[in-house]
Amino acid sequence: MRTGIISGVLLVLVGIVAGVLYWRLRKVEKEKTELVEEKVSLEENLRELDQRVMAMQKELERKDVELEEKNRRLEELQKRVQQAQALIRKYEEEGKISAKQAEEMRYKTEQMAYYLQKYQDRIKELEEENQKLRERTEQLEKAVEQKETQARQIEEEKEKLAIKVKAASYLKAIEFRFAQVKESGKEEWDREFRARRLRTLKICFQVLENEVAEPGERTVYLVISDPTNKVITNFAKGSGYFTLMDTEQPFSTKAVFHYNRQRQEVCALFERPDEELNKGTYTVTAFCEGVEIGRGQFQLK
């Protein structure tokens, strides 16, 4: 009766934990989708801003060339007006022109000087407009830089969320059990065995439910390490190599099973090699999809 109540409570707790995990992961997936949409929008804004900045830069270059030409022509005209005024004074002093002619010429040169001043004022206005346009271009360039920074941040957030989703999809192995399998097929479950008598070891563990993990075939590689951390292998009876962190690592035995997102027991057999085994604590580490998913221990005496 008491055992049934405890089992019921444990089932309820596992259900609650699984529900919370499922809700959190769905939230992460939603955030990831929103980040992708925001990134696409930012990229469109960036393209538009880039086009505007390029157009304004070309306009500035064109106007700068035009203003430079206008200033050059203005300086030439101002010099010619000054030269004409100097000649008028000279001819008047030398008596080559009458006072009336000198007055008419001075009037014309003053008119020319007036219009040149107006022209100079207009050039100054254009230069001020160019400066404002240049400042606006700088603002747009800063806006582009900010958008690019935001795009990079979104990409980083998306990568972090992808890592979280991937990490959450990994399986978890707990409750390792061990049995010595006799020649008759009888299984003696324990965590302590005699080294000389142990021939075939059965290893079982529970794979927890995971709503995020994709269902399908999985391979769990089991690495048995002796007290000196040496990996125990028997290549004639199923041991081999698997890839871990881009390197080939030996495994003792493996279990292939079909995962259905539900809690399930997985078992594998390991036949000891024809060599003497050290006494002490042995560690069994389980790897699946390139990551450690759980470990257990047993003793040889």
Q: What is the pLDDT of residues 150-202, one digit of tens each?
A: 777 767 776 766 655 565 568 899 999 999 999 889 999 999 999 989 999 99
Rounded to whole angstroms, how far apart are CA atoms 190 and 202?
10
Q: Tell me the CA distances in angstroms from 65 to 59, 165, 205, 299, one per residue in order.
A: 10, 57, 79, 88
> Which of 168, 200, 225 corresponds to the end of one domain?
168
SS (H, E, C) 272-292: CCCCCCCCEEEEEEEEECCEE
> Which of 134, 150, 168 corresponds to the end of one domain?
168
Query: Does any domain span residue 181?
Result: yes
**Are 219 and 281 part of one and the same domain?**
yes
Domain residues for the domain of 224 are 173-300
DSSP state of 50: H
Q: What are phi and psi of 254, to 5 degrees?
A: -145, 160
Is the per-residue pLDDT at 232 higher than 80? yes
Please name the residue ranges forming H helices in the chain. 2-94, 99-169
Query: Would you place residue 74 in the very low, low, confident or very high pLDDT band (cuts 50, 70, 90)?
Result: low
**Are 61 and 140 part of one and the same domain?**
yes
How many structural domains are present in the chain? Answer: 2
Q: Which residues pair with 284 in a beta bridge?
A: 224, 296
**Are 23 and 155 part of one and the same domain?**
yes
Q: Which residues pair with 256 in a beta bridge?
A: 219
Please name the helix (run of DSSP H) or strand (run of DSSP E) that holds residue 207, with its range, or none.
strand 200-207
**Are 221 and 162 part of one and the same domain?**
no
Pairing of strands 291-300, 192-193: parallel
Query: Would you place residue 269 in the very low, low, confident or very high pLDDT band (cuts 50, 70, 90)?
Result: very high
Of residues 19 and 232, more confidently modeled: 232
Q: What CATH number is given to the structural domain containing 18?
A: 1.10.287.1490
Over range 275-296, report the average pLDDT.
93
Lowest mean pLDDT among 18-22, 100-104, 127-131: 18-22
Pairing of strands 253-259, 216-225: antiparallel
> Percent of the chain beyond pLDDT 70?
64
> Which of 145, 168, 191 corresponds to the end of one domain?
168
Query: Does any domain span residue 64?
Result: yes
**Are 120 and 76 part of one and the same domain?**
yes
**Are 62 and 149 part of one and the same domain?**
yes
Cβ-contact 218, 259 below 8 angstroms: yes
**Are 295 and 264 part of one and the same domain?**
yes
**Are 19 and 51 part of one and the same domain?**
yes
**Are 144 and 212 part of one and the same domain?**
no
Query: Would you place residue 10 in the very low, low, confident or very high pLDDT band (cuts 50, 70, 90)?
Result: very low
**Are 288 and 226 part of one and the same domain?**
yes
Rounded to whole angstroms, how far apart are CA atoms 170 and 293?
7
